[in-house]
A and B are shown apart, each in its own frame.
Chain A
């Protein structure tokens, strides 16, 4: 009932030429989510399951350190912890605006190699997630529109459409976001291609506050690619926020240290 009323209200507002109000609303909703989402740094133990189109699973565990220095500047270090034969394999990714640099450390060779030509849209370590999917939303680069307010499972959510600006290399023509009102956490997202078909869909669950933090985090993240029939589940078994990681911990030397 409430959502119907709001839709009607929205139509009335739109009809009276005050469309901008709704758009700003959507934008502030997303901005709220970004603020909530932003952390100085995070350390996560991740259990990763990649399922292929025939339903077969591959399990890996890894530790993920990430740090956002400022908007658009993101540092990530991944170290695999299991299975044994890849333990210590590390992956360092430094994103600065549109420029990404990536290095790989193979303990078997005790050597770091730069990986050329990786972009934000590439798959994150062979999963259904892309690097972009795991970054915080960049509010300035998108235009947002509130679609409706509704319930998703037992949470009240805003449903917002995000469309990339002209110059963006975003592969999706539109993303539909379901943002929880209570925690400002992204609970669900659908990624539409140029033909407006859903190519990936994201869902998050087990939303709680990591120990010692007031921020809300989903601890189970799932990404499905319906076209390819594959999916990835990232289960965060330990989550620490804002422990004071600094950029010295995101260097080639630190990449090699853990091996």
Chain B
């Protein structure tokens, strides 16, 4: 047996074994320090998912990127000189923001040798340049030039970083920066609504009137009730492409915004903000939860082993397992996502279980053996097989998630399996090597009594099966009401900074979530057709009729606005239209309005229509990020589009909201598939181990019931099934099946000596304590997740924590009742 070679070597050469493991660990820790944390929806979907590719393409056509929303809120109203001055000042300050602190300059300057020689000098002077505009222009030029020269990814990346850091913000939208189309006495002008901050009350009220006359501003830049005003910041790059630069930008923005606080309340929200906040909270979470989990387990193990030194052995194993697993993740280039952040706690639970079994057995063997090495050889001989099998069931349980359609769940499955294998390897090498060097263990006494679980001493088959049947029935009734649907902001506790900021922005303005409805006419200048614009306007009208939609904007709004300003009426799209039939002159009118707008220097429509007016981008702002609601919004848009737009026009969707919906749609089928695969893999493993289809099937029953109860509990307590909570069933299967393995192994052992019912009672008698103890340890390990900042992890904590104990109880009651009596 391979595993006997490993532990025999470890026992013979313990120091070499430990040294070897320590060296690998050092390398892995070094690797793991390069791990990337990513939290956007993009990281949840696989990189080649069609929806993601399409999203990228649409974003690039309209050059639209994630927006950061900065709000000033004042109950007395924001139309006062001081607040508006802040809006103007902040807009200017942000337009000129740069992310070149001295440390960054030094870091970039040190890397100049990565560039071809002809760039080096210019690069250094751009890095040292103190004028932002000049540094940015130099960087932009070098970057364009280098892209033509194809200088290699590394060098190009360096130039790109400089380019972004000197120009991280592509556009600031506020009353002092956007264009308004306004009527003058005898014509039309494109001018900023607030070129200077009004001083007199007459000027203030003129500004107020003109702002509220343009529907594009209401809820887009100012709140309907006048108590809030927005500054929108568009990053000059995609969040996911440059997460570090994005973080620096958001830190810098938050710091600037803080200086404008009071008496107005300032808030910063938007998808990039949520992503960054999630990352920082995840780090804080890990920093808090890991020591807590380890501390809790140390106490449990100390109590169990009666020796603090022995208690540290499984913990060291767990820590090394974590280091290796994270190191392998970094080597594979996969990011840590919120889903993956649950992994350490699970690895702790898995790794500790092996340690518990080994050390308990060692303590039992020690009084019988002549020295530590022979005691350990006997221990490993007895348990190595069981450790291997339980690890393999973990791999089957978690590995099945590798078939998931969601990248982060796939990563979670793959790397938790890797972790289980690492833990297995360490259990067979590090644990015996360390134990043989440590002083001998305190011997195992007859500790404690059997817990009084009904059915353990005497077995009543019928009532147990009836009770189990009732449990299945109740769970089966609850499961259909299980709700699905993720959220990002909703993951945070309501008193967290980002949750509050998002809520305030959503209360006052159009909404933080964006859905892009892309209308493609498939012909050049197709958007100049009035019926298409009317269809777009109809989609907007229906969407704005929904409570959750706070704002929409499209090219149709601009055409309507020009129509209004130039003719004083709303002839093309609105109520002033004479008849239902399309006026043949409408097309020329629309074309001429758009020409006029371009010629007047307007460029706000670039994000709403593509260059040759084939495609329109309807921007829809939504006040929640709950996916079921987002899906409803999308459905409304589809329904209206189907009736209002011709067959030659197609509608697609993009934006964060759409990606959330797509990710969500993948969860249930992929979750069912993964569970099915896992169950099948575990069943085959058990079949191989027990060589009895009946026993293997019976071993599955407690787990099937537990998983049904898991879904029933989630349904009962309103826990939504999403990318993170979808893991619970797999965790329960992977970890819980170990109990059945232990039980049936014992049952078969006793079956050699007596009848089935006798063997079942004996098996319950001998395994009840370790199984319950194990489930309690795992339950406690998971319960530290209750202290997480994220709702889904809290849910995993209590659901897994409580159902592991249920799985243990079911294993000790229902499983014996299913096994043959004779």
Interface residues, chain A, with chain B CB atoms under 8 Å away? 52, 54, 56, 58, 80, 83, 85-86, 89, 91, 103-104, 106-109, 111, 113-118, 122-123, 125-126, 193-195, 197, 226-227, 229
B591 within 8 A of A: yes
Please tell me if the beta carbons of B601 and A123 are within 8 angstroms of each other in the complex: yes
Closest chain A residue, CB of each to CB of B597: A126
What would be 22 A-B contacts, judged by CB atoms less than 8 Å apart? A54-B60, A54-B611, A58-B611, A83-B525, A85-B525, A85-B587, A86-B591, A89-B595, A89-B596, A103-B187, A104-B599, A106-B593, A108-B585, A108-B592, A109-B567, A113-B186, A114-B186, A115-B187, A118-B601, A197-B134, A197-B137, A227-B140
Closest chain A residue, CB of each to CB of B567: A109
Q: What is the CB-to-nearest-CB distance from B30 to chain A, in angstroms, rounded to a whole number? A: 41
Write out, one digit per residue, whether chain B residues 532-572 have a CB within 8 A of any chain A CB (1) or not (0): 00000000000000000000000000000000001100000
Closest chain B residue, CB of each to CB of A125: B599
Write out, one digit per residue, whether chain B residues 585-624 have a CB within 8 A of any chain A CB (1) or not (0): 1011111110110111100000000011000000000000
- A residues less than 8 Å from B190 (CB atoms): 117
Instruction: Give the one of A108, A109, A115 with max B CB within 10 A.
Output: A108
Q: In the complex, which of the residues A89, A113, A117, A227 contacts B566, with contact meaning CB atoms closer than 8 Å?
A: A113
When A and B form their complex, which 4 residue pairs have the shortest distance between CB atoms, in order from nearest?
A: A114-B187, A85-B591, A116-B189, A108-B589
Q: In the complex, which of the residues A113, A116, A226 contacts B141, with contact meaning CB atoms closer than 8 Å?
A: A226
- B residues less than 8 Å from A125 (CB atoms): 598-599
Please tell me if the beta carbons of A89 and B592 are within 8 angstroms of each other in the complex: yes
Q: In the complex, which of the residues B184, B187, B601 contacts A122, with contact meaning CB atoms closer than 8 Å?
A: B601
Q: What is the CB-to-nearest-CB distance from B149 to chain A, in angstroms, rounded to a whole number? A: 15
Q: In the complex, which of the residues B189, B588, B600 contacts A85, with contact meaning CB atoms closer than 8 Å?
A: B588
Interface residues, chain B, with chain A CB atoms under 8 Å away? 60, 131, 133-134, 137-138, 140-141, 144, 184, 186-191, 525, 528, 566-567, 585, 587-593, 595-596, 598-601, 611-612
Closest chain A residue, CB of each to CB of B190: A117
Q: What is the CB-to-nearest-CB distance from A193 to chain B, in angstroms, rounded to a whole number? A: 8
In the bound complex, how far is the Cα of B239 from the Cα of A115, in angstroms? 39
Q: What is the CB-to-nearest-CB distance from A238 to chain B, in angstroms, rounded to a whole number? A: 23
Q: A52-B611, A56-B612 are in contact. Are A115 and B186 (CB under 8 A)?
A: no
Q: Beyond the given A54-B60, A104-B187, could you list 4 further A-B residue pairs with CB under 8 A, ordered by the A residue number? A: A58-B611, A85-B591, A106-B593, A115-B600
Q: A89-B592, A109-B567, A197-B141 are in contact. Are A115 and B189 (CB under 8 A)?
A: yes
Please tell me if the beta carbons of A115 and B188 are within 8 angstroms of each other in the complex: yes
Q: A108-B588, A227-B137 are in contact. Are A116 and B566 (CB under 8 A)?
A: no
- B residues less than 8 Å from A111 (CB atoms): 566-567
In the bound complex, how far is the Cα of B131 from the Cα of A48, in angstroms? 36
- B residues less than 8 Å from A109 (CB atoms): 566-567, 589, 592
In the bound complex, how far is the Cα of B140 from the Cα of A195, in angstroms? 14
In the bound complex, how far is the Cα of B593 from the Cα of A195, in angstroms? 36
- A residues less than 8 Å from B585 (CB atoms): 108
In the bound complex, how far is the Cα of B601 from the Cα of A122, in angstroms? 7
Q: What is the CB-to-nearest-CB distance from B8 to chain A, in angstroms, rounded to a whole number? A: 66
In the bound complex, how far is the Cα of B339 from the Cα of A216, in angstroms? 71
In the bound complex, how far is the Cα of B592 from the Cα of A84, in angstroms? 11
Q: What is the CB-to-nearest-CB distance from B248 to chain A, in angstroms, rounded to a whole number? A: 23
- A residues less than 8 Å from B596 (CB atoms): 89, 104, 106
Closest chain A residue, CB of each to CB of B131: A195
Please tell me if the beta carbons of B137 and A126 are within 8 angstroms of each other in the complex: no
Please tell me if the beta carbons of A86 and B186 are within 8 angstroms of each other in the complex: no
Please tell me if the beta carbons of B144 and A226 are within 8 angstroms of each other in the complex: yes
In the bound complex, how far is the Cα of B591 from the Cα of A58, in angstroms? 13
In the bound complex, how far is the Cα of B595 from the Cα of A107, in angstroms? 12
Please tell me if the beta carbons of A106 and B611 are within 8 angstroms of each other in the complex: no
- A residues less than 8 Å from B528 (CB atoms): 85
Q: In the complex, which of the residues A52, A113, A194 contacts B187, with contact meaning CB atoms closer than 8 Å?
A: A113
Please tell me if the beta carbons of B588 and A107 are within 8 angstroms of each other in the complex: yes
In the bound complex, how far is the Cα of B141 from the Cα of A229, in angstroms? 10
Please tell me if the beta carbons of B588 and A86 are within 8 angstroms of each other in the complex: yes
In the bound complex, how far is the Cα of B133 from the Cα of A95, in angstroms? 32
Q: What is the CB-to-nearest-CB distance from B560 to chain A, in angstroms, rounded to a whole number? A: 15
In the bound complex, how far is the Cα of B612 from the Cα of A116, in angstroms? 27
Closest chain A residue, CB of each to CB of B613: A58
Please tell me if the beta carbons of B599 and A91 are within 8 angstroms of each other in the complex: yes
Q: A109-B566, A115-B189, A197-B137 are in contact. Are A85 and B592 (CB under 8 A)?
A: yes
- B residues less than 8 Å from A123 (CB atoms): 599, 601
In the bound complex, how far is the Cα of B184 from the Cα of A103, in angstroms? 12
Q: What is the CB-to-nearest-CB distance from B56 to chain A, in angstroms, rounded to a whole number? A: 14
Please tell me if the beta carbons of A118 and B611 are within 8 angstroms of each other in the complex: no
Q: What is the CB-to-nearest-CB distance from A110 to chain B, in angstroms, rounded to a whole number? A: 10
Please tell me if the beta carbons of B188 and A116 are within 8 angstroms of each other in the complex: yes
Q: What is the CB-to-nearest-CB distance from B521 to chain A, in angstroms, rounded to a whole number? A: 14
In the bound complex, how far is the Cα of B148 from the Cα of A229, in angstroms? 13
- A residues less than 8 Å from B187 (CB atoms): 103-104, 113-116
Q: In the complex, which of the residues B133, B184, B566, B612 contacts A195, with contact meaning CB atoms closer than 8 Å?
A: B133
Please tell me if the beta carbons of B137 and A106 are within 8 angstroms of each other in the complex: no
- B residues less than 8 Å from A117 (CB atoms): 189-191
Q: A114-B187, A116-B187 are in contact. Are A195 and B592 (CB under 8 A)?
A: no
- B residues less than 8 Å from A227 (CB atoms): 137, 140-141
Q: A89-B592, A89-B595, A195-B133 are in contact. Are A229 and B144 (CB under 8 A)?
A: yes
Q: What is the CB-to-nearest-CB distance from A62 to chain B, in angstroms, rounded to a whole number? A: 11
In the bound complex, how far is the Cα of B598 from the Cα of A89, in angstroms? 13
In the bound complex, how far is the Cα of B320 from the Cα of A7, in angstroms? 73
- B residues less than 8 Å from A122 (CB atoms): 601
Closest chain B residue, CB of each to CB of A53: B63
Instruction: Give the one of A85, A111, A114, A123 with max B CB within 10 A.
Output: A85
- B residues less than 8 Å from A58 (CB atoms): 611-612
Closest chain A residue, CB of each to CB of B129: A195
- B residues less than 8 Å from A89 (CB atoms): 592, 595-596
Closest chain A residue, CB of each to CB of B606: A52
- A residues less than 8 Å from B593 (CB atoms): 106
- A residues less than 8 Å from B60 (CB atoms): 54
- A residues less than 8 Å from B587 (CB atoms): 85
In the bound complex, how far is the Cα of B590 from the Cα of A78, in angstroms? 19
Q: A86-B591, A91-B599, A108-B592 are in contact. Are A197 and B138 (CB under 8 A)?
A: yes
Q: What is the CB-to-nearest-CB distance from A29 to chain B, in angstroms, rounded to a whole number? A: 30
Q: In the complex, which of the residues B133, B184, B590 contacts A116, with contact meaning CB atoms closer than 8 Å?
A: B184
Q: What is the CB-to-nearest-CB distance from A60 to chain B, in angstroms, rounded to a whole number? A: 9
In the bound complex, how far is the Cα of B528 from the Cα of A193, in angstroms? 37
- A residues less than 8 Å from B595 (CB atoms): 80, 86, 89, 126
In the bound complex, how far is the Cα of B188 from the Cα of A161, in angstroms? 38
In the bound complex, how far is the Cα of B591 from the Cα of A108, in angstroms? 9
In the bound complex, how far is the Cα of B141 from the Cα of A226, in angstroms? 8
Q: In the complex, which of the residues A54, A107, A115, A229 contacts B592, with contact meaning CB atoms closer than 8 Å?
A: A107
Closest chain B residue, CB of each to CB of A228: B140
- A residues less than 8 Å from B186 (CB atoms): 113-114
In the bound complex, how far is the Cα of B587 from the Cα of A118, in angstroms? 27
- A residues less than 8 Å from B133 (CB atoms): 194-195
Q: What is the CB-to-nearest-CB distance from B575 to chain A, in angstroms, rounded to a whole number? A: 19
In the bound complex, how far is the Cα of B595 from the Cα of A106, in angstroms? 10
Q: What is the CB-to-nearest-CB distance from A1 to chain B, in angstroms, rounded to a whole number? A: 27
- B residues less than 8 Å from A193 (CB atoms): 137
Q: In the complex, which of the residues A80, A85, A114 contacts B184, with contact meaning CB atoms closer than 8 Å?
A: A114
Q: What is the CB-to-nearest-CB distance from B9 to chain A, in angstroms, rounded to a whole number? A: 62
In the bound complex, how far is the Cα of B353 from the Cα of A205, in angstroms? 81
In the bound complex, how far is the Cα of B591 from the Cα of A125, in angstroms? 14
- B residues less than 8 Å from A226 (CB atoms): 141, 144
- B residues less than 8 Å from A104 (CB atoms): 187-188, 596, 599
In the bound complex, how far is the Cα of B406 from the Cα of A98, in angstroms? 62
Q: What is the CB-to-nearest-CB distance from B191 to chain A, in angstroms, rounded to a whole number? A: 6
Q: What is the CB-to-nearest-CB distance from A252 to chain B, in angstroms, rounded to a whole number? A: 10
